[in-house]
Amino acid sequence: MEGQERGAWGSNLGFVLAAMGSAIGLGNLWGFPYKMGANGGFPFLVIYLIMVIGCGVVVMGLEMAIGRNTRKSPILAMGQLGKKFKVIGLFGVLSAFVIMGFYSVLIGYSLRYLAGFGLEIFGGAGFAGMDGAAFFGAYTGNIGAVIGYTALAFVISGVIVAAGIQSGIERFNKIGIPSLFVILIVIIVYGLTLPGSKDGLTFMFSSQGMQILGVEFDFFNACRAAGGQMLFSLSLGMGALITYGSYLDDKANISKNAWVIPAADTAAAILAGMAIFPVVFAMGQSPAGGPGLLFITMHNTFFSMGGIGLGLGVIFYLLVIFAGVSSAISLMEVVASNFIDQRLAKGKPANRRQVVLGVSAAMFVLSLFVACDKLGGSVMTTGSAFVSRIGSLLDTFDFFASGIMMPLGAMLISLVVGWGKGIPWLKAEMEKNGNKFYCEKFFTIFTRYITPLLMLFVLISLALSYLGI
């Protein structure tokens, strides 16, 4: 049976946890809290929430509906809605490739730091006695080590994806996502007992964050930061939710899931900031975003805490790895399911393990470029005016994915459903099996008008900001 070969979730809860796993990732940990601090604190949160509701919830609902309706991975799914829409799915598969090209390298970094803190606990020199910046520089410059840990990230993610939807992806997320929230809470509770920790909350939630960083509030900057962050953080516009939705039972209520998953992702983003910044401020470190925060700053923070810091270091990097791997497996599944479905469509048998091996190998080759770029230190960045303008090869990959393809994908998906297939088609899918279509009016108006316009706005402003215009 075709359905059997493709796989299916064991329950709606399993699906919801897997979708949360895809959404909650490095983007939540290093992107959201920092961007919130840098863009005015509370006003940023309000703009972000408007983006989540105005686009996130809507596109998530549409992607799940497309996936479940067609029971196909993105290219075939979009092709089934209309031949000319196939290219939207193709963009999604390409985005998954490009994102995994850098995401895997970052999971590799986290594995190295987990190993480092683990060794330190047992008296080893996990970081060769270096401070945060020195070690990070030495590690990222050591291409062999970076490639080794990136390969390990692929092995871990590949094994989970190869095990299948239910026994691999669903099982991992059922353990990973609750653990992730528990770790967040443990760090928050501990962090808030430290003197000076409240400054971390002030940085994130009030306008003082901008004073600390020496920046002024800029409404358009805040909007584009929130728009790009929202799409990346919710894994939208590139088919991850089409893919996960394609394994979803008809009994599941999609319009409800479309609220629950973004709510959990947003909660995780806020909790991440409440876990990270209080300890950073209590230990006198300065806030930043990106790799510098997750690796250099946190390394220094944990080391300045003494013995307990080593233990916290271990659980913190476990958190980063859970968050990262649960997202990486969704990136891999987008591509793997494409090849599995293409074979099944031709009536050929599909061996999931072989497909996953091939997909991992191809993604690994792409990640080698990022690994060898040393975060912008190689000729791949310095030799290209375009890449160095954006920052590094990693930033360039991110620019193509979250700056161009994801907003474009999200916009096109809402146009296809709103104007191509039409709202009655959406209603039929939402109401399958007697389900209630929550917020039907809202979905109707937003899918047709507001979401595409918001995405167009984000697309233009993101592209301009990346290019420094």
Residues forming contacts to ligand PHE in the complex (CB under 6 A) are: 22-23, 25-28, 99, 232-233, 235, 238, 240, 327, 330-331
Least separation in angstroms between residue 282's CB and ligand PHE is: 26
The CA-based dihedral angle spanning residues 410, 416, 417, 421, taken in that order and rounded to the nearest 10 degrees: -170
Residues 6+ apart with CB under 8 A from 176: 21, 322, 325, 326
Q: Which amino acid is at 147?
A: I
Measured from the CB atom, is 283 or 406 closer to ligand PHE? 406
Least separation in angstroms between residue 327's CB and ligand PHE is: 4
Measured from the CB atom, is 204 or 282 closer to ligand PHE? 204
Measured from the CB atom, is 31 or 309 closer to ligand PHE? 31
231-264 burial, b at 16+ Cβ within 10 Å, e below that, comes to bbbbbbbbbbbbbbbbbbeeebbbbbbbbbbbeb
Sign of the alpha-carbon torsion through 186, 190, 191, 197: positive
Measured from the CB atom, is 9 or 322 closer to ligand PHE? 322
- CA-to-CA distance for 396 and 381, rounded, in angstroms? 9
- CA-to-CA distance for 236 and 282, rounded, in angstroms? 35
To 10 degrees, what angle do helices 86-121 and 406-415 make? Answer: 140
Measured from the CB atom, is 27 or 168 closer to ligand PHE? 27
CB-based contact 170:8 (threshold 8 Å): no
Least separation in angstroms between residue 432's CB and ligand PHE is: 25
Least separation in angstroms between residue 63's CB and ligand PHE is: 11
Least separation in angstroms between residue 264's CB and ligand PHE is: 12
16-41 burial, b at 16+ Cβ within 10 Å, e below that, comes to bbbbbbbbbbbbbbbbbbbbbbbbbb
Structure tokens, 15: 């699906």
Measured from the CB atom, is 305 or 320 closer to ligand PHE? 320
Least separation in angstroms between residue 38's CB and ligand PHE is: 18
Measured from the CB atom, is 65 or 268 closer to ligand PHE? 268
Measured from the CB atom, is 240 or 319 closer to ligand PHE? 240
Q: Using the 8-state DSSP alphabet, how is residue 206 labeled? A: S
Tell me, letter by letter, the H, E, C secondary structure of 417-435: HHHHHCHHHHHHHHCHHHC
Measured from the CB atom, is 282 or 293 closer to ligand PHE? 293
The residue sitting closest to ligand PHE, measured at its beta carbon, is 25
Least separation in angstroms between residue 269's CB and ligand PHE is: 8
Least separation in angstroms between residue 347's CB and ligand PHE is: 30
Measured from the CB atom, is 98 or 426 closer to ligand PHE? 98
Residue with tokens 């080893």: 124
- CA-to-CA distance for 285 and 267, rounded, in angstroms? 25
Least separation in angstroms between residue 202's CB and ligand PHE is: 25
Least separation in angstroms between residue 27's CB and ligand PHE is: 3
CB-based contact 257:51 (threshold 8 Å): no
CB-based contact 117:301 (threshold 8 Å): no
